[in-house]
Amino acid sequence: QSVLTQPPSVSGAPGQRVTISCTGSSSHIGANFDVHWYQLLPGAAPKVLIYANSNRPSGVPDRFSGSKSGTSASLAISGLQAEDEADYYCQSYDSSLSDWVFGGGTKLTVL
């Protein structure tokens, strides 16, 4: 049971825009801790896509964007490409557990 809640799966056609939600509570996202997003491609290590809610590391296309409001955050992917098919995880910090925490992951399928 993951601390942060994500939809198990989302899908979209090439070129479309999808969003992945990440819902938390007052002990993490709502406590103003940042939300970060990672992409896991099959057989590869996780890669940070968005850090501190809405910032992209160099090399990450601007098709990826993040936002946060209240106790939730979202990752948006526009102009979907086949190579975006992967698992996506949100991450924050839980002050009641003193743990860094992840969402359960969302599998993105490009139709």
- The residues binding other proteins (CB under 8 A) are 2, 33-34, 36, 38, 45-48, 51-52, 57, 89, 91-93, 95, 97-105
Question: Of 82, 68, 91, which Cα lies nearest the Cα of 19?
Answer: 68
CB contact at 8 A, 36 and 51 = yes
Judged by CB, which is closer to other proteins: 97, or 111?
97
Judged by CB, which is closer to other proteins: 45, or 82?
45
Q: Nearest approach, Cβ of 83 to other proteins (angstroms)?
A: 19
- Other CB atoms within 10 A of residue 8 CB: 8
